A and B are shown apart, each in its own frame.
Chain A
Amino acid sequence: MTRRHMLLLGPLLLFLAAAYLIPFLGVMRWSVTLPEPGLHQYRAALTDPLVQSVIWRTLRICTMVTVITVAAAYMLALIWVRSGPVARVLVELCILIPFWISVLTRAFGWLALLSNRGLVNSWLEALGIIDLPLVMVRNEFGVVVGMVHFLIPFAVFPIATAMRNVDERVLMAARSMGASRARIFWQVFVPMTRPGILGAMLLVFVFSLGFFITPAILGGGRSVMVAELIYLRLFQSPNWGLAAAMSVILMAGVGLLIALLLRQLGERTAR
């Protein structure tokens, strides 16, 4: 490797080392030095009832979001990959348009639909179905709806890739042996797309763990998740040590899951 080659590789690596790796070490140092040296912030993160409830809520919401998102994405990918050209273009538009619109605009759209004076409540009141507005935001329901909406496009892509790789001849073989459509779908097609489903689930779960903007807007401070708690402990009721410790724990958890994802990808390509 010549010195001039380092002119190509070097700048980005140096930049990331200076602006990301070393500061992250600094954050790790905060987690064991603020307000005083020791591991008590990690102990607090694992025993404090408030932090515990936030961690459990995060895991519960992320699990729910993952299951709903992947199921929905599977149906969309099915139409996208396997139906006629018109339906294909329509589904593609419905996936791509939200994908390119910012997270803030999308969260605001859900506020416009679901808040007390929003579209849904206004219609239901005008129709005389309800007297008092239904509470659909500033709670977990709003958070789950907003997160599912944000994550569906990300889940569609890996599932669609797996579906495109399904060998058509296997489906034909099943049909010629007399299997019903339902049986072909559940016992042949779905198992053959399992790598895509698992990949999408891990991807969505990892993404949702660090979610911040959507829960903060649609949860309205009532259903705080880990990422928002880090923000609050930094800017509203400061406890920088705890914020740093939770970041380190979050990073470790995500790192573990990504290692799993990579191993799964490796097995798939090795096969």
Chain B
Amino acid sequence: MKRLQPGFPARVIAALLALFLLMPLVAVIPVSFTPSRFLSIPSDELSLRHYRALIENPLWAQGAWLSIRVGVVSALVSTALAAGFAIGIWMLRPRFAGLLMGLALLPMVAPPVVSALTLYFFLVTLSQFNDFIAYDRWAGVVMAHVVMVAPFAVVLISVGLSQIDRRMDLAARSMGAGLGTRVFRVILPNIRFSLILSLFLTFVLSWEEIAVTLFITSIEAVTLPRLMWMGLRDNIDPAIAAISVFLIVVVVLAILGRTLWHIRTRTRETS
């Protein structure tokens, strides 16, 4: 008997919903070619002035460069901390594992605005003692981003660990391997895909983080999302459309590439 499939009305509704999901992403394209200084749809002439502004106005490059630096450092630090934590839990299986895990995941489940206020309190307090890890400093932003993205790294790495065979580690231990050898030569090589995935995800999350960044920066440490926020709030600057088109194209290409690759490997496996 053939598997029941969704009927025609369900397909029409889903198609409309798919349109709804993609519509705002398509809508930024015409806006980015407007010749005027405010958000509008170009009627007779198209202009590249907003794309030129992205290159000519040094603020955009500075913001992007800061976001890249913050993202790379946050990804490295949070993945390292999360890997240590997840491996520790996996090896020891301590009695309060659930509680410790809950603590590590707290910043992920708490409302972003509460985390933002908390990290604002933290950095304002630190500002009284130093000028490096402080409010509106790039190291302060890294600190806050590590708090926000580390839980995602913990989840990914724990999933990776749950798939490796515990007996491998036991064998290494019974052969006299020390803790360092077990971690660096046995466990880490076996979860390398989770580690790469974690580095990638934490970088992306930090790259687009805005809720917390908004609270802990003002004029010095202006990341790319922070710069976009400033252009969105007061007079809507069509340069935001140009940068959005750029970001959307990157994501679409990445996802299409991944999907095609999946389809190719899948058909190769079945044929």
A: which residues have CB within 8 A of B? 1-2, 4-13, 15-16, 19-24, 26-27, 30, 72, 75-76, 78-79, 82-84, 87, 89-98, 100-113, 115, 117-119, 122, 149, 152, 168, 171-172, 175-176, 181, 184, 206, 209-210, 212-213, 216-217, 226-227, 230-231, 234, 243-244, 247, 250-251, 254, 258
Contacts and interface: CB of A to CB of B under 8 A. Distances in A.
A101 B114 contact: no
Given A11-B85, A16-B147, A231 B20 contact: no
A102 B225 contact: yes
B247 A184 contact: no
B21 A94 contact: yes
A171 B4 contact: yes
- Most B CB contacts (10 A, CB to CB) among A9, A13, A122 go to A9
A23 B125 contact: yes
Given A209-B111, A251-B110, A19 B103 contact: no
Main secondary structure of the interface of A (DSSP, over half): helix
Nearest to B263: A89
30 contacts: A1-B94, A9-B94, A12-B84, A16-B103, A16-B106, A16-B107, A19-B144, A20-B119, A21-B106, A75-B14, A79-B14, A97-B252, A101-B25, A101-B248, A101-B251, A103-B208, A105-B244, A106-B25, A108-B236, A109-B24, A109-B27, A111-B232, A113-B27, A119-B30, A210-B112, A231-B116, A234-B120, A247-B114, A251-B111, A254-B114
A108 B20 contact: no
Contacts of B159: none
Nearest to B245: A105
A262 to B, nearest CB: 9
B113 A227 contact: yes
Nearest to B80: A11
A24 B118 contact: yes
